[in-house]
C-alpha cells in the first residue's frame, strides 16, 4: 500500500530510544516464542536528514561495521526507506550497544528494531507494527542468513510474542503475567551460530514433537491464565536443549541450581551461550539468579547477568531533544 | 489418597447421563487438543447395587461385548471401583450407543467417561476430575492399546481441552469462544485404527515440527482471544493430515468445499474416518455443512452428520429417577 508522507517532517531533530534485549527460542517454543527483557538494550539516536542516504555516524560499545549494507540497523532502515520512494531525505544514526553481539539475547534484533521504530516515529507512524517487523527482519537476514522474527517481534512490541508463522508473517501478542521475572546469565565465551546450528537435528521423532507442541499449548495457556504452575510444567524443551546445552559449559549445574531455588524454568536464550531462568516475582528471581551465578562461578569463566520483570513496552523513547 | 465413602449410598437409584462425542487430534493439536460435540453422544444408565461386581445389563445401538473386561466402560468402572476397596457393592450399567464405534468421534471415550462420571456422582463426587480421567483412560487402553486422554478429557469436562502431557496426566481447560460451532461428517466406511496408525511417520522434519507448534500456540491463543481469524489461520496440520487424509475418500473435495463456504478450518476427527469443520456461528456451520455433505454425496457412500455449538458442559444428567 502506498504511504503518504506527512507534509512537514522534523528534520535534524534527534530521537533517542532504548531497544530491549530479548530471549528467543523460549524453551519448548523454539523459533516461535520470545520475550523482551528490561534493564538491558541498545540505545539508538536517529534523525531525519535533508541529504539522502543512511549515515551511521557512530557505534559505541562494540566493534561493528558502519557501512549501511553491512550493519543490521542500516539494512533494516534501507528496507524501510525503500518502502517510501517519495521521501527524498536520509537518516542519520548513532548506536550505543548495550548488548554484546553474539550473546544470544537478540543483539542484532535490538539494533534493527530500535532503528526502524525510531525512524517510523519521526515519520509520523507511517508503518504498521507488522511492516516494522518485516523491515527489522531484514537486519536478521544479514546477521544470521534467515529473516527470523522471534527476536525483533518482542523487541518491537514488548512482552511475550508468538511468531505463529514467519512467512507469511503472523505475530501474536501473548499477555504476560505481572509477576513474571527473567534472569539471564551471559557466559563470556564465543559460541558460533554455525556450530549452534550444526548440532540441531533436521528430523525429530513424532513423539518428541507431540510433547513439544503439548508444552507450547500449555505455556501459551499458562501465560493467559497467569497459572505459574502450568507455566513451570510447560517450560520443557525435549528437542533443542538436549543437544545445544552440551555447547554451554555448566549448563546442567546451572539448571539444577535454578530449579532447586524455585525458578519456574531454565533454558538456553536464543542459540546461546546466554541462559535464562523465568521466575515468579522479584525475590525468587534474585534467589534463583544468585544460585545460577554461583553454579557458573565454579567454572572460572567471566560472565554478565541481567534481571528484571518482563519488559512490557518494547522499544521506548529515552529522549527527543 | 484414601477415599472415604459417604455413610449412606443411593443403592438401586438409577442415574441416566448423556456423554458427548468428541473430536480429538484437533488439526495441529494431534494427540493434545480435543473438543466436545453437542447433539451426539452415548446415553448411560448406572445404579449402585448391593451385590458386588459390575453388570452390563444391556447395550443398545451397537454390537459390543457385555463382559466387563472386554467393554471399555466396564474396564473404566473396574479401575474406579479398585480405588475404593471399602465399597462392598457393585454397579449396574446400561448403555445406549448414540455414537457408532470406529467413527472417529470418541465412541469408546464417551462410554468410559460417562460411566465413571455417573458412578462418581452416585458416590457423592468422591473423585477429582483428574482421577476420573485416569479411570476413563483405562477404557481407552482397552480400545486402542494406549491410555490416551484426548477424547475422555473433553467428554468429561466439555469445551476444549489440552492434554499437555499424558504421563503424568496434565489436562488444561481452554476457554471456548461462544460462537464456535462444529460440523462432523461420518462416512460409513470402516477405517481400521491399525491402518490409520500405519501411515503415520515415526520421524518428522524439524521444520514441520516448528510449523505445527507455532500453530498450536496460535490456536490456543486464538481460543483465549476469541480471535476467529487467528483460529482459522492456526487450523493447519502439516504432519498428520497429509498422510491420513489419503485414507478418507473425498477428503480434499470436502476440505475445499468447507473452506470455500467460509469454515474456519477442516480436518480429520480422531483417526478418522469422520471429518470436521469448525465455524463461526450457526449460519456459517449450516452453510459449510451443506457444502461438505454435497461434496461427499458425489462419492455415493452413505454418511451421517452432526452439527452444533461446542458442548461446554461435557457429561450431563438426563434423568435421575
DSSP secondary-structure letter at A48?
Answer: E
For residue B146, the model assigns a pLDDT of: 84
Per-residue pLDDT for A29 more than 90?
yes
Please indicate, yes or no, if residue B4 is contained in any of the structural domains. Answer: no
- My answer on whether A56 and A140 are in the same domain is yes
DSSP secondary-structure letter at B29?
Answer: B
Please indicate, yes or no, if residue A7 is contained in any of the structural domains. Answer: no
**B238 phi, psi to nearest 5 deg:** -95, 0
- My answer on whether A103 and A47 are in the same domain is yes
Please indicate, yes or no, if residue A150 is contained in any of the structural domains. Answer: yes
CATH of the domain at A184: 3.30.70.890
Is B193 in the active site?
Answer: yes
Burial class (CB in 10 A: 0-12, 13-18, 19+), B63: exposed
Is A140 in the active site?
Answer: yes
- My answer on whether B28 and B120 are in the same domain is yes
For residue A1, the model assigns a pLDDT of: 65
CA dist., res. B14 & res. A178, Å (int)? 49
Helix or strand holding residue A82 (H, E): helix A72-82
- Closest by CA to A99, choosing from A238, A306, A296, is A306
- My answer on whether A21 and A164 are in the same domain is yes
- Asked if A54 and A93 touch (Cβ cutoff 8 Å), the reply is yes
Number of domains making up chain B: 2
- My answer on whether B90 and B29 are in the same domain is yes
DSSP secondary-structure letter at A158?
Answer: -
Give A105-121 pLDDT, tens digit per residue: 999 999 999 999 999 99
B291-318 mean pLDDT? 96
Q: Which residues of A touch B204 (CB under 8 A)?
A: 203-206, 209
Please indicate, yes or no, if residue A141 is contained in any of the structural domains. Answer: yes
* Rounded (10°) angle between helices B251-260 and B282-297: 150
Please indicate, yes or no, if residue A298 is contained in any of the structural domains. Answer: yes
Q: Which residues of B touch A201 (CB under 8 A)?
A: 206
Annotated active-site residue in B131, B138, B140, B241: B140
CA dist., res. B203 & res. A110, Å (int)? 36
Per-residue pLDDT for A153 more than 90?
yes
Using CA atoms of B283, B288, B293, B298 in order, give the dihedral in degrees to the nearest 10: 140
Q: What's CA B9's distance to the chain center, in Å?
A: 30
Q: Which residues of A touch B29 (CB under 8 A)?
A: 213, 217
Per-residue pLDDT for A128 more than 70?
yes
CA dist., res. B31 & res. B294, Å (int)? 30
CA dist., res. A288 & res. A293, Å (int)? 9
Please indicate, yes or no, if residue B5 is contained in any of the structural domains. Answer: no
For residue B192, the model assigns a pLDDT of: 75
Q: Do A202 and B205 touch (CB under 8 A)?
A: yes
Q: Is A81 helix (H, G, I), strand (E, B) or coil?
A: helix
Per-residue pLDDT for B199 more than 80?
yes
CA dist., res. A165 & res. A171, Å (int)? 7
- Nearest-by-Cβ selection for B217 from A204, A205, A216: A216
For residue B190, the model assigns a pLDDT of: 82
For residue B1, the model assigns a pLDDT of: 65
Please indicate, yes or no, if residue B127 is contained in any of the structural domains. Answer: yes
- Nearest-by-Cβ selection for A217 from B32, B201, B233: B32
CA dist., res. B297 & res. B153, Å (int)? 33
Alpha helices, DSSP H only, in B145-281? 152-157, 193-198, 206-225, 228-234, 241-244, 251-260
- My answer on whether A194 and A214 are in the same domain is yes
**Cell triple for A305:** 547477568
- My answer on whether B190 and B118 are in the same domain is no
Per-residue b or e along A162-181, where b marks 16 or more CB atoms closer than 10 Å to that residue's CB: bbbbbeebbbbbbbbbeebb
- My answer on whether A154 and A223 are in the same domain is no
Per-residue b or e along A48-61, where b marks 16 or more CB atoms closer than 10 Å to that residue's CB: beeeeebbbeebee
- My answer on whether B212 and B139 are in the same domain is no
For residue A73, the model assigns a pLDDT of: 97
Q: What confidence category does residue B195 fall into, taking pLDDT thresholds of 50, 70 and 90?
A: confident
CA dist., res. A146 & res. A138, Å (int)? 8
- My answer on whether B165 and B49 are in the same domain is yes
CA dist., res. B174 & res. A227, Å (int)? 13
A178-182 mean pLDDT? 97
Most A-contacting residue of B214, B222, B226, B239 (CB-CB within 10 A), to test interface: B214
Q: Do B221 and A163 touch (CB under 8 A)?
A: no
- Nearest-by-Cβ selection for B204 from A203, A215, A225: A203
CA dist., res. B81 & res. B91, Å (int)? 9
For residue A2, the model assigns a pLDDT of: 77
- Nearest-by-Cβ selection for A31 from B32, B172, B210: B210
Average pLDDT, chain B: 95
- Asked if B35 and B223 touch (Cβ cutoff 8 Å), the reply is no
CA dist., res. A27 & res. B144, Å (int)? 32
Q: Do A203 and B200 touch (CB under 8 A)?
A: no
Domain residues for B254?
A: 180-309
Please indicate, yes or no, if residue B10 is contained in any of the structural domains. Answer: no
- My answer on whether A107 and A232 are in the same domain is no
**Cell triple for A236:** 520443557
Most B-contacting residue of A160, A213, A219, A238 (CB-CB within 10 A), to test interface: A213
In this predicted complex, what is the ipTM? Answer: 0.95
- My answer on whether B53 and B134 are in the same domain is yes
Q: What percent of chain A has pLDDT over 70?
A: 100
A215-237 mean pLDDT? 98
Compute the count of residue pairs across chains A and B with CB atoms less than 8 Å apart. Answer: 133
For residue B320, the model assigns a pLDDT of: 84
CATH of the domain at B23: 3.30.230.10
Amino acid at each position: 500500500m502506498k504511504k503518504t508522507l506527512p507534509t512537514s517532517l522534523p528534520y535534524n531533530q534527534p530521537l533517542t530510544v532504548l531497544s530491549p534485549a530479548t530471549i528467543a527460542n523460549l524453551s519448548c517454543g523454539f523459533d516461535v516464542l520470545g520475550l523482551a527483557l528490561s534493564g538491558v538494550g541498545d540505545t539508538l539516536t536517529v534523525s531525519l536528514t535533508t541529504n539522502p542516504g543512511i549515515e551511521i555516524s557512530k557505534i559505541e560499545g562494540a566493534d561493528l561495521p558502519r557501512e549501511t549494507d553491512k550493519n543490521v540497523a542500516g539494512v533494516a532502515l534501507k528496507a524501510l526507506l525503500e518502502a517510501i520512494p517519495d521521501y527524498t531525505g536520509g537518516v542519520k544514526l548513532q548506536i550505543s550497544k548495550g548488548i554484546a553481539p553474539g550473546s544470544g539475547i537478540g543483539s542484532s534484533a535490538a539494533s534493527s528494531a530500535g532503528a526502524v521504530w525510531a525512524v517510523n516515529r519521526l515519520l509520523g507512524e507511517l508503518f504498521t507494527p507488522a511492516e516494522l517487523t518485516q523491515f527489522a527482519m531484514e537486519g536478521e537476514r544479514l546477521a544470521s542468513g534467515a529473516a527470523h522474527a522471534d527476536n525483533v517481534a518482542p523487541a518491537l512490541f514488548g512482552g511475550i510474542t508468538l511468531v505463529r508463522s514467519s512467512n507469511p508473517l503472523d505475530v501474536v501478542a501473548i499477555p504476560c503475567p505481572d509477576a513474571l521475572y527473567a534472569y539471564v546469565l551471559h557466559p563470556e565465551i564465543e559460541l558460533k551460530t554455525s556450530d549452534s546450528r550444526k548440532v540441531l537435528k533436521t528430523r525429530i521423532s513424532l513423539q518428541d514433537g507431540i510433547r513439544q507442541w503439548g508444552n507450547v499449548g500449555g505455556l501459551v495457556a499458562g501465560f493467559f491464565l497467569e497459572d505459574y504452575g502450568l507455566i513451570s510444567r510447560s517450560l520443557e524443551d525435549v528437542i533443542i536443549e538436549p543437544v545445544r546445552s552440551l555447547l554451554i559449559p555448566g549448563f546442567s549445574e546451572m539448571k539444577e541450581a535454578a530449579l532447586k531455588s524455585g525458578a519456574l524454568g531454565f533454558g538456553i536464550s536464543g542459540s546461546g551461550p546466554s541462559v535464562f531462568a523465568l521466575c515468579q516475582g522479584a525475590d525468587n528471581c534474585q534467589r534463583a539468579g544468585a544460585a545460577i551465578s554461583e553454579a557458573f562461578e565454579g567454572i572460572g569463566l567471566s560472565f554478565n547477568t541481567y534481571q528484571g520483570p518482563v519488559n512490557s513496552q518494547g522499544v521506548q523513547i529515552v529522549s527527543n531533544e
